[in-house]
Amino acid sequence: MQELYIDSVNHRYGEREVLSSIFLNCKIGEVVGLLGRNGSGKSTLLKIIFGDIKPRFIHLKIDGQFTLKGYLSKHIAYLPQGYFIPHYLKVKDLVQLYANIYREQLLEVNVVKLNLNEKVGNLSGGSRRLIEALFVIYSDAKYVLLDEPFSQLAPLVAEELKQHILAFKAHKGFVVTDHYYQQILDVSTRIVLIHNGCNYAINTEDDLILNGYLPS
């Protein structure tokens, strides 16, 4: 089965338990939207899945194979909240580094094509954020974790990013989190809310109100 499967995730910072027996799964063809208030543990969960943070406990399988850190499988790509590509690298060099299977398609994207000879540090904040997100989406990884991908993006650019995510949905599984919850609702096939360290399936916006994420 082609599936990212995470179960029984437990993690705490000092005496504060952030995640308690969290379950999350994502299949090829899904965009799983991950919502939660500030400090609920959304980013922590993505970092745990990728392997940047070692939790107290995790049961992690990728396509049925157990692994301790997602990045070791080479099937997971991760966009963190902050810039992660060194500012001195040129866009054209990064295309060669990140994209193999989908390189030709990536080279046809305007923001990439028009900035091939630019260093990423010379781009505007929005263009840099979009390009970093595109490198993750167009990578060879089957599962893509996107943490706040719409931050710093103008509305039209955010819409463009959504189209890239939806275009790859048939080939990949996505887990996406963002403070702009409407962006998540627009692009997701299903929604999971993290609240009080636990996860809840969300079927309607009323469920977000019921679980205290949105005001009544």
The pLDDT, as a whole number, for residue 216 is 75
Is residue 135 a part of any domain in this protein? yes
The amino acid sitting at 161 is: L
Which domain CATH number covers 76? 3.40.50.300
For 92-135, the pLDDT digits (tens) are: 999 998 899 999 999 999 999 999 999 999 999 999 999 999 99
The answer to whether 78 and 42 have CB atoms below 8 angstroms apart is no
Q: Give the residue among 103, 76, 102, 77 at the shortest CA–CA distance from 92.
A: 103
Tell whether the model's pLDDT for residue 197 goes beyond 90.
no
Angle subtended by helix axes 125-137 and 91-98, to nearest 10: 20
- Where is 198: in which H helix or E strand? strand 198-202
Is residue 148 a part of any domain in this protein? yes
CA 120, CA 98: separation in Å to the nearest integer?
Answer: 14
Is residue 23 a part of any domain in this protein? no
Is residue 8 a part of any domain in this protein? no
Is residue 97 a part of any domain in this protein? yes
Tell whether the model's pLDDT for residue 29 goes beyond 90.
yes
Q: What is the DSSP letter of 90?
A: B
Is residue 15 a part of any domain in this protein? no
Is residue 170 a part of any domain in this protein? yes
Q: What is the DSSP letter of 58?
A: E
> Alpha-carbon torsion 59, 64, 70, 76, what sign?
negative
Q: Give the residue among 168, 92, 83 at the shortest CA–CA distance from 126.
A: 83
Number of domains observed in the structure of the chain: 1
The amino acid sitting at 77 is: A
Q: Give the residue among 47, 42, 78, 41 at the shortest CA–CA distance from 60.
A: 47
The pLDDT, as a whole number, for residue 114 is 95
Q: Count of residues for the chain?
A: 216
**Structure confidence at residue 192 as a pLDDT band (50, 70, 90):** very high
Residue 144 backbone dihedrals phi, psi, to 5 degrees = -120, 125
Q: Which domain holds residue 83?
A: 30-40+69-210
Is residue 100 a part of any domain in this protein? yes
Region 6-15: what's the mean pLDDT?
A: 90
CA 3, CA 162: separation in Å to the nearest integer?
Answer: 22
The pLDDT, as a whole number, for residue 68 is 85
What is the pTM (predicted TM-score) of this model? 0.95
Residue 43 backbone dihedrals phi, psi, to 5 degrees = -65, -40
